[in-house]
Amino acid sequence: MKYQVDERGYYGNFGGAYIPEMLYPNVEELRSQYLQIIAQPEFQTEFNELLRAYVGRPTPLYHATRLSEKYNAAIYLKREDLCHTGAHKINNTIGQIILAKRLGKQKIIAETGAGQHGVATATVCALMGMECIVYMGKLDMERQRPNVERMRILGAQVIAAVSGNMTLKDATNEAMRHWINHPTDTHYIIGSVVGPHPYPHMVALFQSVISEEIKKQLQQAIGQPNPDYVIACVGGGSNAAGAFYHYLNEVHVNLVGVEAAGKGVDSGESAATTALGKPGVLHGSKTLLMQTTDGQVIEPYSISAGLDYPGIGPLHSHLFETGRVQFLNATDEEAMQAGIELARTEGIIPAIESAHALAALSKLELTAEDVVVVNLSGRGDKDLETYIRWGKY
């Protein structure tokens, strides 16, 4: 239970609910009911059936033989990129929209960076016939136009966040402001393991299906459920939380989180929170945060819009502090190269977020006996323009 959230909403020194009173009733309504609702058999049936028939779960655990040869280890890819909408994000939005319905909510709001969570939210809103508003930084809307149009095709209203640097952090601020102004009929679907308690725990629960499946699939593939390594990229950290979840207490499984180093950890243009951050409060929880000595949040940078966040979820801060998870980082260049490498060796173009996880393979001292699972959190379709602009292929 060392890595589980406590009754106050903390993971060790991190977490909690640092929210203005105007948000308290919204968050408290959720906190007091989420566990009970999720535990209901009807909830589980609806959730699991949608994951199966609509999302396409279980996603394959694929033994990447050519990549394995290259790194001299048995490498398995957890194919979250094959989920409907192209990334793991939908596991969480399916869970939260069923929860929102049971709480009697009629409207959904969400924030999005790269647009993957926005698309996953717009998708489940269309599926359930609920009104959907997605906040997205104005800059991100320009960088990720196809996803903006996908959300609009799905019937969502996309509102540009024009404060701050006009990226994910600002979109989250605007979504929180919207929730303050619409406290009774609206549910806020946060896309990562961030935000006030119970969000980090709830989102991790919905994503934990990833490691649940890995265990079963590895058992079938190699006769035992535990690999030597699980590797996942960390922006806010939802895919990593899902991939690590059922391995947290399996101490012999090395868990590796890979953050975005941008143009280099010390370049001033990075999103490597564990390397650069200190404990602070943003978006309702106490966590590691990139900030000035005066407590002002520093704008992060990464070539990947999905990792472009100045903090990490409180669970990850705890896993970093306790040393349970080894945190590495990969630069833009390393990630792009790893992305191309996967395309050439396995015929899979990964999302640039997931390419950061792949970039860790060359940083670990792997041996031929090692079984390695890389969580391939998303597909690269949305990143085609970034690949083209990068050009080195």
Which residues form the interface with other proteins (CB under 8 A)? 8, 16-22, 24-26, 163-164, 169, 173, 176-177, 180-184, 278-284, 289, 291, 293-297
H or E element in which residue 390 lies: helix 384-390
Apex 367 CA angle, 362 and 370, nearest 5:
100
Is 89 assigned a catalytic role?
A: yes
H or E element in which residue 278 lies: strand 278-282
Residues near 287 by beta carbon (within 8 Å), at least 6 away in sequence = 14, 15, 194, 279, 280, 281, 311, 312, 313, 314, 316, 317
Residues near 314 by beta carbon (within 8 Å), at least 6 away in sequence = 10, 11, 14, 15, 16, 193, 194, 200, 285, 286, 287
Nearer to other proteins, 257 or 280 (CB): 280
Nearer to other proteins, 299 or 333 (CB): 299
Taking the complex as a whole, the smallest distance from the CB of residue 281 to other proteins amounts, in Å, to 4
In contact, 354 and 88? CB cutoff 8 Å: no
Q: Which of 78, 89, 169, 286 is catalytic?
A: 89
Secondary structure class of 288 (helix, strand, coil): strand
Q: Which of 68, 211, 317, 377 is catalytic?
A: 377
Nearer to other proteins, 38 or 180 (CB): 180
In contact, 311 and 236? CB cutoff 8 Å: yes
Nearer to other proteins, 296 or 367 (CB): 296
Q: Which of 111, 174, 259, 341 is catalytic?
A: 111
Taking the complex as a whole, the smallest distance from the CB of residue 270 to other proteins amounts, in Å, to 17
Taking the complex as a whole, the smallest distance from the CB of residue 161 to other proteins amounts, in Å, to 11
Alpha-carbon gap, residue 24 to 163, rounded angstroms:
24
Nearer to other proteins, 257 or 310 (CB): 310
Taking the complex as a whole, the smallest distance from the CB of residue 236 to other proteins amounts, in Å, to 15
Is 174 assigned a catalytic role?
A: no
- In 3D space, the residue among 160, 164, 131 whose CA is nearest the CA of residue 144 turns out to be 160
Taking the complex as a whole, the smallest distance from the CB of residue 233 to other proteins amounts, in Å, to 24
Catalytic residues: 89, 111, 377
